[in-house]
């Protein structure tokens, strides 16, 4: 891979108690690209996504072996505090999860807990983040209204703006469109394509057409193992592993 590598994963094993959920995963996430993780339910793709900002730390009985490096130098599990890591590696979930606060306070939340008090600075961050999430024009006159009154697609873009407000390097997206209608899905896909100019994106998707439409690289997971990884067009046009071919042609999963 000739691109700069943003996250490098080496021999990653993850256990929930005695159950091994990830087996010797090796993967390099290219900077300013979209990497899609595909595979049937329960194959480990969301678990793998969460290792990249230590969301699995929050679950009992998790044991992780192997190495995840950020920028080829920071060991995600040894060299950085989880809170600092999550500022650099943000996450957007399957179900939009706005806070029960105003639209403005949702976006300003992260910068505030990181010590930004100036109203002018917060105003600037809120405007910039909502513009980056392509929703400023829809929301600029409603900033004091509750975020819970927005549609699902708007809520998801607000959650993306909230994640962008702390200026992460990496955006992890766990099936960000699975709860949305086709029009909202399309707008989130377009947004992801725009955001990769400034961010590195890793997206879990059940929708193989979505992976084809928006990603540069695709990793196929099966039973905790990463079976195949490559440029999206190559993986879908000429998969090297018969298991990948069976999955993408719809013969299982």
Q: Select from 206, 103, 112 the least CA-distant residue to 154.
A: 103
pLDDT of residue 3: 80
Pick from 70, 87, 88: nearest CA to 79: 70
Quick one: pLDDT at residue 28? 97
What confidence score (pLDDT) does residue 253 get? Answer: 54
DSSP string, 16-28: ETTEEEEEEEEEE
Q: What tens-digit pLDDT sequence spans the chain (253 residues)?
A: 558 999 999 999 999 999 999 999 999 999 999 999 999 998 999 999 999 999 988 888 999 999 999 999 999 999 999 999 999 999 999 999 999 999 999 999 999 999 999 999 999 999 999 999 999 999 999 999 999 999 999 999 999 999 999 999 999 999 999 989 999 999 999 999 999 999 999 999 999 999 999 999 999 999 999 999 999 999 999 999 999 999 999 876 5
173 DSSP β-pair partners: 92, 203
Return the DSSP state at 55: G
CB 107 within 8 A of CB 130: yes
Per-residue CA distances from 192 to 34, 66, 160, 249, 253 (Å): 8, 29, 10, 26, 26
38: phi then psi, degrees, rounded to nearest 5: -120, 165
Residue-range domains of the chain with CATH: 5-248 (3.40.50.300)
Contact yes or no for 63/43 (Cβ under 8 A): no
Q: State the pTM of this model.
A: 0.95
Give me Rg for the CA atoms of the chain.
Answer: 18
Would you say 122 and 112 are in contact if contact means Cβ atoms under 8 Å apart?
A: yes
- What's the chain's length in residues? 253
- Helices 103-113 + 119-132 axis angle, to 10: 110
């Amino acid at each position: 891979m000739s691109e700069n590598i943003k996250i490098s994963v080496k021999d990653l094993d993850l256990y929930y108690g005695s159950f091994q959920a990830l087996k010797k995963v090796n993967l390099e996430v290219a900077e300013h690209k979209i990497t899609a993780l595909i595979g049937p339910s329960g194959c480990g793709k969301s678990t793998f996504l969460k290792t990249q900002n230590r969301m699995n730390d929050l679950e009992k009985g998790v044991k992780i072996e192997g190495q995840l490096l950020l920028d080829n130098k920071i060991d995600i599990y040894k060299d950085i505090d989880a809170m600092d890591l999550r500022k650099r590696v943000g996450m957007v979930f399957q179900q939009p999860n706005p806070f029960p606060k105003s639209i403005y306070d949702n976006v300003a939340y992260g910068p505030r807990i990181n010590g930004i008090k100036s109203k002018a600075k917060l105003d600037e961050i809120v405007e910039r983040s909502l513009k980056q999430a392509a929703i400023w024009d829809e929301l600029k006159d409603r900033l004091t209204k509750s975020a819970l009154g927005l549609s699902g697609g708007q809520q998801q873009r607000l959650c993306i703006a909230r994640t962008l407000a702390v200026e992460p390097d990496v955006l992890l997206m766990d099936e960000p469109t699975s709860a949305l209608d086709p029009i909202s899905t399309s707008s989130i896909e377009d947004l992801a394509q725009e955001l990769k100019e400034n961010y590195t994106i890793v997206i879990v998707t059940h929708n193989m057409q979505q992976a084809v439409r928006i990603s540069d690289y695709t990793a196929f997971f099966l039973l905790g193992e990463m079976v195949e990884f490559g440029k999206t067009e190559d993986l879908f046009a000429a998969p090297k592993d018969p298991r990948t071919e069976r999955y993408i042609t719809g013969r299982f999963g």
